[in-house]
Amino acid sequence: MTNPFQEKLTTLSQLEKRRELIPIKGIDFSSNDYLGLAHHDGIRQCLMDALADGMALGSGGSRLLRGNHPEHENLESFAAEFFGAEAALYMATGYLANVCVFTTLPQRGDVIIVDELEHASAKEGIHASLAKSIKFAHNDVQACEDAIKRARANGAKDIWIAVESVYSMDGDVAPLDELLEIADRHGAYLIVDEAHATGVHGPGGKGLAAVFEGRENLIVVHTCGKALGQAGAIVTCTTVMKDYIINAARSFIYTTAPTPLSALAVQKALEVVRDEPERREQLHALIQHAHQKFPSDISTTQIIPLMVGEDGAAFALAKQLQAKGFDIRAIRTPTVPKGSARLRLSVTLNVTTDDIDALASAYE
């Protein structure tokens, strides 16, 4: 009997698109642990103390059953105040948060206007939504507004604009102020994914949407598994929207809650972001140094795409650098458009300027 899955895997191999899990080794130029908080001694000690005091290892159920622990509510209160939002809701992953937001808030008859480079979890949520969607050219505010006008002309009810603040593969930044002006002008909502900005960018590391938090037409997703070094995601929004998500989001209602230990870890990570600004200062110095060594016409952030072109060439180059002790990965189609395969250089506090210099020499 022919195994259809093996045939598909063989085809992926032939197309140089087959993925594999590889062990963690080498100097870290691929993780999203931007502030090095995944190994923060203070957070680790806090969790050890909590376990020693008898904190539950699991949540025990969904948030609406017996899974709503004080640590969840403490985190949400702290996060709302930290980010300057009216309310916050903690979820198990950033992927789940995006699916939850897009399948719950936009309704049938609404239209989601989405940047063409929005990342996969948001796209999955949009695909599963009852609302229709329209893509617009990346970071093109006029194209965004034109799409809104077309949607309105075709009878759209509410309009939802979906963007990232820092784009995960190009490292460039969305024009949030202009997009929010468009949202205001057209009575639309703006959904901002701060996955690669939370903890790193904006005032106090609160993200690039921080100056707008608290607006009724703004929903923000703050991922906890990147610069915060933990797990989960926090959605900041109005109290009414939070209440509606709790009542209507199947992906929230019918899933086991994150562990109370995870919620505590995220709160402690946010406290580190607040109390240790020197981490951000050190990171931005490293980012500046990396941009000097790897000039980019695209990126202005800690994510620097080293453009190669073809999938096979990018994969081979990554393998060569990995063999020299650098953990840097190739990004290929369909994650990026055909012909734009690249190495994704991620700058974190897990490296030094000497490490960056060594990578630059090996890359030449």
pTM of the model: 0.95
133-151 exposure pattern, b = at least 16 Cβ within 10 A, e = fewer: bbbbeebebebbbebbeeb
Active site residues: 32, 119, 164, 168, 193, 196, 226
H/E element, 281: helix 277-293
Q: Flag whether pLDDT at 1 surpasses 80.
A: no
Q: How confident is the model at residue 346 (pLDDT cuts 50, 70, 90)?
A: very high
Cα torsion for 192, 205, 227, 78, to the nearest 10°? -80
pLDDT at 296: 95
Q: How confident is the model at residue 204 (pLDDT cuts 50, 70, 90)?
A: very high
Among 27, 12, 88, 4, which Cα is nearest to 334's?
12
pLDDT in tens, 120-153: 999 999 999 999 999 999 999 999 999 999 999 9
**Domains of the chain and any CATH numbers:** 21-39+277-363 (3.90.1150.10), 55-275 (3.40.640.10)
Rg (CA), the chain: 21
Q: How confident is the model at residue 15 (pLDDT cuts 50, 70, 90)?
A: confident
Q: Averaged over 111-125, what is the pLDDT?
A: 96
pLDDT at 327: 97
Among 33, 28, 35, 8, which Cα is nearest to 284's?
35
Among 161, 158, 100, which Cα is nearest to 135's?
161
Sheet containing strand 303-309, strands side by side: 303-309, 341-346, 329-331
